Structure 1
Amino acid sequence: MYRFLTSNICAPSIWSRRINFPVVVPSSSFHEIRKNGYEDKNRKKVSPRQAIRDGLKELKKEIKNWTEEVKEGCTLDPIMGMPLPGEVDMQWCFNESIDFDHWVVTSDSDHNEGYSTSTLSVSPTGKGLFSGNLSTQLVRDGKVKKAGYCNFKSIRPQKSFKRDSFHNWSGYTHLVMRVRGDGRSYMITLGTAGYFDVNWNDQFHFALYTRGGPHWQISKIPFSKFYMTSRGRIQDMQEPMPLNRITSFGITASDKNNGPFRLEIDYVGLELDPSHKETSAYEQYKVPYFYAGY
């Protein structure tokens, strides 16, 4: 899609008339390319010939992924694939063989909005280690009003040929994590980006409380306890989490306490508890339309 910008036509004169023809400008110059609102400054420009070569290599890879998807769909047993009550199904295991390309680590300093830093690495015990330094110091640009956050999250699952997909957790009731923290409080974030752009920033959150010391802890959190936000704002109209459309999992450090933080993660799993019947822990109130405007 292109938009046309027509320059002003100069006033006619006795000797000549100068006309500037329309200039074609890509629509990306007017709209955000990425859904998170930040431009990808690390993207490298390549020649058309190199782009064709890279595209052919990517095509072979995607055809292979599509073949594996077809084989998996033909051999899938719907009965054996159902979750068993009381058993934890591992979704992500953090160990020495973890692929860091499947995770994105960011902080306010990456966008020139603060001075916090963070990394995701392997701890000396062979587990995942989310660590860094949290700083609430503001950048003196007159725009940033709050600072001090570090987070990491998983990339969105994809099918072959770069088709967006989802994690289907509809058969589970609890999120289970085995972690070892430093006494700080963290925030668990589950992304549920939908098809329409109004839903791209919908997320569900719940706190992860850790205790300091050498012992590991197992946190078992019902999905019904997660509350919905949009662009970081808690919504008045809460709704149950769409467990069949999970796009990402992440943890954020933003407790406004300056200093280093450290969180070790063993695994992130899912569990089914048949006795848990709650769908949403937050009450919904129906009021007249002229009270709230909706």
Structure 2
Amino acid sequence: MTSFDVDGLSVAVPCSSFHEIRKSGYEDKTQKKVSVRQEIRDGLKELKREIKNWTEEVKEGYTFDPITGMPLPGEVDKQWCFDQNTNFDDWVVTSDSDHNEGYSTSSLSISPTGKGLFSGNLSTQIIKDGKVKKAGYCNFKSIRPQKSFKRDSFHDWSGYTHLVMRVRGDGRSYMITLGTAGYFDVNWNDQFHFILYTRGGPHWQISKIPFSKFYMTSKGRIQDAQEPVPQNRITSFGITAGDKNNGPFRLEIDYIGLELDPSHTETSAYEQYKVPYFYAGY
């Protein structure tokens, strides 16, 4: 507890109140309340699982071979494969209609060919509530990796130069989003994007995108001062449909992987510069 004076009154506030919470997304209003006894039971079960996860982490730390763990040039290391065994609890699918901000719908499922299928209907129609000004997006992204005892973790892709995807699209353009976690709260909304262009038709395509081509945004705004992707602090991977074209969309995904190309030495494809101070009114 921490105490301080306000207008001569001594006020006690828990120290946790001074820790800024990472606010993102929307409040989950569907969460059901449970009894204290049930919370204790669930907590003990979860504690057992977390101890097991921690044990596996310790074993992995002792048996990890840094030589065999290094990426091999030209080989694709698949991070996610979509098939009948895919656990869709590892992915979050959202659209504007989920938050009463539009009429778009989307889903992530298995296609008739046994691969991942991101599909739905995109609508730019605006709900007439006097608040929403734009609509028309569908998105899915991976959940953030965690260590045992709910500790935040990251995808460490620092040994790779390219993101590789095998997809079969419908001719639309989709946006790839890499979520990152900065050290300071001002960086919590930083994301990196690049466009996934699909050909359409019956044939699969392999898209190989350098990490140096991803551009940085904050709260959806492209930043003047661009930075390279912090590949050792990736928190999520996502794909968004939002090209403002009304109608159904369909994107099949075989795998999402990484590749090392030693000949690619570019760090960032965009100009690195500082905005003059007088732009901000100084």
**Among candidates 223, 236, 240, match of residue 228 of structure 2:** 240
User: Given that residues 123 and 135 in structure 2 are in contact (C-alpha distance below 8 angstroms), is that contact kept between their aligned partners in structure 1?
Assistant: yes
- How many corresponding residue pairs? 277
Corresponding residue for 2:124?
136
Task: List structure 1 runs of 4+ shifted beyond 3 angstroms.
Answer: 24-28, 31-34, 291-294
Question: Aligned equivalents of 2:275 and 2:92: distance in 1?
Answer: 41
**1:92 and 2:80 equivalent?**
yes
**Among candidates 66, 69, 81, match of residue 69 of structure 2:** 81
Alignment of 1:113-124 (within 5 A): 113-124=101-112
Per the TM alignment, residue 26 of structure 1 is displaced from its structure 2 partner at its CA by 10
Deviations 1:17-52 (A, max 9, x none): xxxxxxx99999xx9976224101121111111101
Corresponding residue for 1:151?
139
Structure 2: where are the runs of 5+ without partners?
7-11
Question: Aligned equivalents of 1:94 and 1:275: distance in 2?
Answer: 30
Identity of aligned residues (%): 87
Corresponding residue for 1:14?
none
Corresponding residue for 2:9?
none
Output the amino acid matched with 1:235: Q
Corresponding residue for 1:272?
260
Output the amino acid matched with 1:253: A
Output the amino acid matched with 2:233: R
**Among candidates 168, 176, 188, match of residue 200 of structure 1:** 188
Structure 1: where are the runs of 5+ without partners?
7-23
Residues 33/134 of structure 1: CA separation in 2 closer, same or farther (3 Å cut): farther
Output the amino acid matched with 1:281: A
Question: Aligned equivalents of 1:194 and 1:88: distance in 2?
Answer: 27
Deviations 1:215-253 (A, max 9, x none): 000000000000000111101110001000000000000
User: Given that residues 166 and 256 in structure 2 are in contact (C-alpha distance below 8 angstroms), is that contact kept between their aligned partners in structure 1?
Assistant: yes
Corresponding residue for 1:44?
32
Question: Aligned equivalents of 2:201 and 2:79: distance in 1?
Answer: 26
Question: Aligned equivalents of 2:164 and 2:140: distance in 1?
Answer: 18
Corresponding residue for 2:94?
106
Question: Aligned equivalents of 2:175 and 2:42: distance in 1?
Answer: 39
Residues 32/125 of structure 1: CA separation in 2 closer, same or farther (3 Å cut): farther
**1:175 and 2:163 equivalent?**
yes
Corresponding residue for 2:218?
230
**Among candidates 234, 242, 252, match of residue 240 of structure 2:** 252
Q: From the CA coordinates, give the structure whose radius of gyration is larger.
A: 1
Name the Cα RMSD after superposition.
2.6
- TM-score where L is the length of structure 1: 0.88
- TM-score where L is the length of structure 2: 0.92
